């Protein structure tokens, strides 16, 4: 424990040496453009591109997926835009995307059924698992379609195709982690992307991987991942949640990090003790140095590293950390 504390302190000192921003001045104006990247049924999906035209040359690009439990959220929430501006000032392009909200769609269908039949619609455990799985699948599909749109316009937008990073918060973090998992396992869904494409890195704010096929296993080496998570998160599992006598599992950042460590795959895990689901948002303002370190070392520098940082606020009270399937379903609008 003492060695881990010294290591974490050293890392904190190291990343604090450099500032996240670049030579960004008040005379520079960030340009925002909106594009339609896909139309699916009644859903017109748009993306916003944030860029600083005064910074020339090919740029890394961060594709961002918003949070909201697959029931709500917007691609241009104020807190996100502040984060985007910091990234753009560093010299990156940022693309924030829409995606279909699968759990919202399922809940609205249930309400419609109630109105037609006069009976309250009930959702069993297996049905809830199916809804979650479908919500994640269509979100990843939309992420991949948006990524294809970026790739098609990369030359025009001065984006380096080899330095495209996926980043998400909460449901968005689940989406980007799943996207990378699909690519690394050569799934049918991954065929929506060019055969030789993979993200240069993945940034997850309180994310997890939801599996209906058992524990996690990567057929091919995944891209480096930066994962932030609080160990008292009741919305998205910090470690793992498995359902007995089934292959269903919800595998959080801690479990993902352990699996990656065994395979000696590069990752950066930033674990916060006695923190709940606020970690889906706080790193965008409080951990810019860690994000900068990840991009510089893992993405641009392509260093084969494992970094594990444990943080504990000594003034914070001890929080509940054991949650069951009903807690997570309830937190995500799928339980009563």
Q: What is the pLDDT of residue 332?
A: 65
Contact 139, 70 (CB under 8 A): yes
For 225, how many CA atoms within 13 A lie in the half-sphere containing its CB? 34
Which string of DSSP letters, residue by residue, matches 133-144? HHHHHHHHHHHH
Can you give the pLDDT at residue 326? 67
Average pLDDT on 270-292 reads 97
Instruction: Check pLDDT > 90 for residue 220.
Output: yes
Whether 16 has a pLDDT exceeding 50, the answer reads no
Mean pLDDT over residues 15-19, rounded?
34
d(CA 253, CA 71): 22
Phi, psi (deg, nearest 5) at residue 45: -100, 125
**What percentage of the chain has pLDDT greater than the value 70?**
88
Stretch 13-30: mean pLDDT: 48
For 134, phi then psi, to 5°, come to -65, -40
Sheet containing 225-230: give its strands across.
31-40, 43-51, 93-97, 59-65, 159-169, 201-205, 225-230, 267-273, 306-312
Determine the Cα angle at 321 with ends 317 and 326, to 5°.
Answer: 135
Which tens digits make up the pLDDT trace of 167-209? 999 999 999 999 999 999 999 999 999 999 999 999 999 999 9
- Residue 5's pLDDT band, with cuts at 50, 70 and 90, is very low
Tens of pLDDT, residue by residue over 114-158, are 787 777 767 767 788 899 999 999 999 999 999 999 999 999 999
Q: How far apart are CA 333 and CA 104, in angstroms?
A: 9
Give the side-chain half-sphere CA count within 13 A for 135: 27
Write out pLDDT tens, residues 36-84: 999 999 999 999 999 999 988 999 999 999 999 999 999 999 989 999 9
Res. 12: pLDDT tops 70: no
Q: Among 23-32, 190-199, 265-274, which is the least confidently predicted range?
A: 23-32
pLDDT at position 15 over 60: no
Average pLDDT of the segment spanning 223-229: 98
Tens-digit pLDDT profile for residues 308-322: 999 998 988 898 877
Residue ranges and CATH numbers for the domains of the chain are 2-331 (3.40.50.1820)
**Segment 78-107 mean pLDDT:** 96
Q: Are 170 and 68 in contact (CB under 8 A)?
A: yes
Query: What mean pLDDT is predicted for residues 6-26?
Result: 39
Strand partners, 306: 267
Residue with tokens 């693309």, as numbered in its chain: 95
What CA–CA distance (Å, rounded) separates 60 from 67?
23
pLDDT band with cut points at 50, 70 and 90 for residue 263: very high
Mean pLDDT of the chain: 89
Hey, which bits of 41-99 come out as E strands? 43-51, 59-65, 93-97
């Amino acid at each position: 424990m003492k060695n881990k504390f010294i290591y974490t302190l050293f890392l904190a000192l190291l990343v604090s040496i450099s500032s996240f921003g670049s030579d960004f001045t008040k005379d520079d104006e960030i340009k925002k453009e909106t594009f339609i990247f896909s139309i699916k049924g009644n859903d017109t999906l748009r993306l916003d591109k944030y860029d600083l035209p005064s910074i020339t040359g090919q740029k890394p690009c961060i594709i961002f997926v918003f949070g909201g439990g697959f029931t709500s959220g917007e691609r241009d929430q104020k807190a996100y835009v502040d984060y985007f501006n910091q990234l753009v000032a560093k010299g990156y392009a940022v693309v924030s995307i829409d995606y279909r909200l699968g759990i919202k769609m399922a809940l609205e269908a249930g309400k419609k059924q109630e109105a037609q039949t006069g009976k309250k619609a009930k959702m069993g455990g297996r049905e809830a698992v199916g809804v979650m799985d479908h919500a994640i699948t269509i979100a990843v599909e939309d992420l991949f379609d948006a990524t294809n749109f970026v790739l098609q316009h990369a030359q025009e937008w001065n984006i380096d195709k080899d330095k495209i990073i996926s980043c998400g918060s909460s449901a968005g973090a689940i989406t980007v982690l799943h996207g990378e998992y699909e690519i690394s396992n050569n799934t049918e869904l991954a065929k929506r992307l060019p055969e030789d494409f993979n993200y240069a890195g993945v940034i997850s704010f309180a994310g997890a991987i939801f599996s209906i096929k058992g524990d996690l296993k990567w057929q091919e080496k995944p891209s480096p991942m930066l994962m932030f998570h609080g160990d008292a998160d009741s919305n998205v599992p910090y470690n793992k949640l498995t359902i007995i006598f089934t292959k269903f599992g919800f595998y959080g950042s801690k479990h993902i990090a352990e699996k990656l460590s065994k395979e000696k795959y590069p990752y950066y895990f930033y674990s916060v003790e006695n923190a709940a689901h606020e970690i889906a948002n706080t790193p965008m303002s409080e951990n810019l140095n860690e994000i900068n370190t990840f991009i510089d070392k893992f993405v641009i520098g392509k260093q084969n590293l494992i970094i594990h940082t444990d943080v504990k606020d000594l003034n914070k009270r001890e929080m509940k950390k054991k949650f069951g399937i009903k807690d997570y379903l309830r937190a995500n609008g799928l339980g009563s």
